[in-house]
Chain A
Amino acid sequence: ETGVTQSPTHLIKTRGQQVTLRCSSQSGHNTVSWYQQALGQGPQFIFQYYREEENGRGNFPPRFSGLQFPNYSSELNVNALELDDSALYLCASSLRQGGNYGYTFGSGTRLTVV
């Protein structure tokens, strides 16, 4: 079975620009969660998608938005980039929502905003 793949692996953007990050979930997983991880810190929950609908959101502004597609792949969009958005963005898929199902994480997209 394939794991979670994220693209691109690295990205440099200018403040004010928009960015789209992509995630292909593990085969058979219908839930995708996105996390932001600043250097030296634990991941912070952005939002989760279950069967193409947003199913929970963390403390992030509306300029962070997402989509999930029928094949359960997902996108994270960030508008009006700020310097503090520089971080590792992680996508995690799971078989279902809920805590008894382990998350499989991708290797992340390293976003640098200059």
Chain B
Amino acid sequence: TQLLEQSPQFLSIQEGENLTVYCNSSSVFSSLQWYRQEPGEGPVLLVTVVTGGEVKKLKRLTFQFGDARKDSSLHITAAQPGDTGLYLCAGLGTNTGNQFYFGTGTSLTVIP
């Protein structure tokens, strides 16, 4: 089993603050995705990163894939209450065909 550990598990911050969520593994992934999930809903894809060292920006969100393709980070600038949700990373193994491994999740609460 290829495990993806996310940290922190829970995060509660004030509106306007910055934050970083980490997704780490000892395994190499051919690609990695980040999702956000709200209560009672399925995860919604935010971004896919494929190349080691790749950085992608989505408005106030910055995603980075580690050089060795074993880890990733999500940085949110000036967090808004609408950013509240469960953030999940998911990696596609290099030798596991089609199995996406999801991380343990980071529950973010942004307080107005």
Residues of A whose CB lies within 8 Å of any CB of B are 4, 31, 33, 35, 40-45, 48, 50, 55-56, 58-59, 90, 92, 97-100, 102-108
B97 at the interface (CB under 8 A from A): yes
Partner pick for A40 among B31, B44, B45, B105, CB 8 A cutoff: B105
Question: What is the CA–CA distance of A33 and B102 in the complex, to the nearest angstrom?
Answer: 13
A104 to B44, CA, bound (A): 7
Q: How large is the interface on B (under 10, 10 to 19, 20 to 34, 35 or more residues)?
A: 20 to 34
B43 touches A107 (CB 8 A): no
Residues on B with beta carbons closer than 8 Å to the beta carbon of A31: 98
A44 to B103, CA, bound (A): 9
Q: Are A99 and B48 in contact (CB under 8 A)?
A: yes
CB atoms of B100 and A45 under 8 A apart: yes
A56 touching B99 in the complex, CB below 8 Å, given contacts A99-B30, A99-B92, A105-B42: yes
A98 contact set on B, CB distance < 8 A: 92, 98
- Contact between B88 and A43, CB atoms less than 8 A apart: yes
Question: What distance in Å separates the Cβ of A33 from its nearest Cβ neighbour in chain B?
Answer: 7
Given A4-B42, A45-B101, 20 further pairs, Cβ under 8 A: A42-B4, A42-B6, A43-B102, A44-B102, A45-B100, A45-B102, A50-B98, A56-B97, A56-B98, A90-B42, A98-B92, A99-B30, A99-B48, A99-B92, A100-B50, A102-B33, A103-B100, A105-B42, A107-B41, A108-B42
B-chain residues with CB within 8 Å of residue A41 when the two chains form the complex: 104-105
Pair B99/A107 contact, Cβ less than 8 Å:
no
